[in-house]
Amino acid sequence: MHGRRSGILLHITSLPSAYGVGDLGPSAYQFVDFLSETKQNYWQILPLNPTDSYVDNSPYHSISAFAFNPLLISPQQMVEDGFLRKADLEPIPVFPKGTVDYAKVIDFKTKLFENAYSRFAKSKKFAFEEFCSENSQWLDDYTLFVALRNHIGKKNWGEWPLEIRTRQKQKLDSMRKELADAINKEKFLQYVFYTQWKALKKYCKEKGIHIVGDIPIYVTYDSADIWTNRHLFKLDENDKPLYVAGVPPDYFSETGQLWGNPVYNWEMLQRTNYDWWLKRIDHNLHLFDVIRIDHFRGLVGYWEVPAHEETAMHGRWIETPAEDFFDRLARKFPCLPIIAEDLGVITADVREIISKFGFYNMKILMFAFGEDMPQHDYIPHNLNRRCVLYTGTHDNNPIKGWLEEEVSESDRKRLFSYFGRKVSDDELHWELIRLAMRSVANIVIFPVQDLLGLGKKARMNRPGTQEGNWRWRLQPDQITPSLKETLLAMSEIYGRT
C-alpha cells in the first residue's frame, strides 16, 4: 500500500454472467482486464462468505467467517475443469438483467452442484484431499454445521437437540458418520470455489491488481463460528445471546442500528491469546492482498445492547483490550495491510490505535460538503496521505442518486463553490472522481456505479432495511471505450498509475 494508486469497488455478485449472478468465470477476468487497461491497482469486493435468503443474501450476515459462497462458483469454469458437461448447463433459465433473482439462482445452481458432486464422488483427487487437510481447522466444523442444519431443519443451532448444541463428542462423531456424504458434498463445493478463486487471484497478480477483501467485524449467531466457539461470545447458560451489537443513533438512523450479532467475550479472547482472530486474519491474508475491517471501531470499543431491546438506543460503550490485541496481531503479521472502516463518530482512542499501528483509514467524499465544509475531515484540503478516499461505499447512494435524493440547495452551492464553477448533474460524478484523483490521498476507490453515473436504482445496500439489497448487477455494454479512455487519462494525469 505505497504510492498514489486508485481502484474500483465492485462485488463479485454484481459482475455480468449468463447464470443469474456474478461469478468467478470469464466476466471476472474481463473486469481484471478493464482494471489493468485503465491502470487501476485495486479491486475492492465485499465479503466472500456464504449468504442466506433468510437474511436477504447479505454478505455481512453469514453462517461462517471462513467458508466461501458457493453461489459465486462459475458453472462455465466447472465445465472447463471437468466437473460438469456443457449439456448439464442447459437449458439456462431466463434470468433478469441488471439484478439478481436469488431464489431462481439458488434453484438452478443447486441442481448443477448435485450433478457435479455425483460425478466427482466417483473419483479420488489428491488436490481435494490436500485442500481438506490444509483447511480442516474451519472446514470440518463448517461442513458438519451445514449438514446438521439441513438434516435438523433450518432452525438456528441454539434450538438443536442438547447433545448436538453443546457439541458432545460422541454424538458429533455419530452424526459425522451418518451425514458423511452431505458433509463431503459441502467440502467439494468449498474446494471448487477455492480452486476458482486461486486462479483468479493469480491472474490479478499477473496484471498488477491487488484485491481488497472485506471482513465484517462480527459473526452471525446462527453460524458455525459461534456454535464451535461458544466461550468466545457473551451467551447465557442456554447458549442464547446476552448482548448484541449495533451502533448508537447516527447519520443513517435516528434509533441507531441494531445488528443482532452476539458480542465478543474479550476477556476470553485475551485469555486464549486471540487465537480465533489470528486464524481469521491469517485465512483472509491468504485470500486477499489488503483487508478492510468493517466497523473497525468495534475492535477498540463497541456498542453493547441487551438482547431483549428492540432498538439500539439503550446500549452502552464497552472498551476492549485493543492495544494488547493489535500488539499480538503485529507480532504475528509484521506488515498488516489493513484499511480501518472508521466512519461515523470516532473517538481519540480509535484514532490512536489506527495511527500507532499504521493502518489506513477511510474518508467519504460525498459527506464532506455540509455546513462545516472547510473544516470537515473528508474535504480534500484536510486529508493526509495515509487514507483511502472513496466517493461513496456500498452503503451509500451512488453520486447521482445522492444528488437526486439527499443533496440540499445549500449543499449544492457549497459543492459548486468548491469546484469554482457550476456543474451539471450529468457531469458531477466525473468532477467528484477528478477531485478524489487529484487529492493527496494515497489510495482512492470508486464504486463502479459512480464511474457509470448511475442513480438510486443501482444502489447496493440501504442500511437499516432488510429487503431488496445486494441485487444490482453490471451489464457488459456499460463498460464503454469512452469510459476506459476517461478513467485512464485521469489515472495518468494525477499520477496514480
* Residues recognised as catalytic: 294, 341, 395
All 3 cell numbers of residue 215? 471482513
Phi/psi zone of residue 206: left (φ > 0), alpha (ψ -120 to 50 degrees), beta? alpha
Contact 42, 2 (CB under 8 A): no
3 state SS of 196? helix
All 3 cell numbers of residue 220? 452471525
Contact 52, 63 (CB under 8 A): yes
Q: How far apart are CA 444 and CA 8, in angstroms?
A: 9
All 3 cell numbers of residue 299? 475492535
Phi/psi zone of residue 45: left (φ > 0), alpha (ψ -120 to 50 degrees), beta? beta
Q: How far apart are CA 243 and CA 263, in angstroms?
A: 6
What is the radius of gyration, based on Cα positions, of the chain? 23
Helix locations, 316-447, DSSP H:
322-332, 348-356, 399-405, 409-419, 425-437
Q: How far apart are CA 265 and CA 272, in angstroms?
A: 11
DSSP 142-184: HHHHHHHHHHH-S--GGGS-HHHHTT-HHHHHHHHHHTHHHHH
The closest of 355, 252, 258, 229 to 300, measured between CA atoms, is 355
Sign of the torsion formed by the C-alpha atoms of 130, 133, 138 and 139: positive
Q: What share of the chain is helix, strand, coil (3-state, %, to 5)?
A: 45, 15, 40
210-216 and 290-294 as β-strands: parallel, antiparallel, unpaired? parallel
Contact 49, 64 (CB under 8 A): yes
Angle in degrees, CA 366, 372, 378, rounded to 5:
40
All 3 cell numbers of residue 272? 486464549
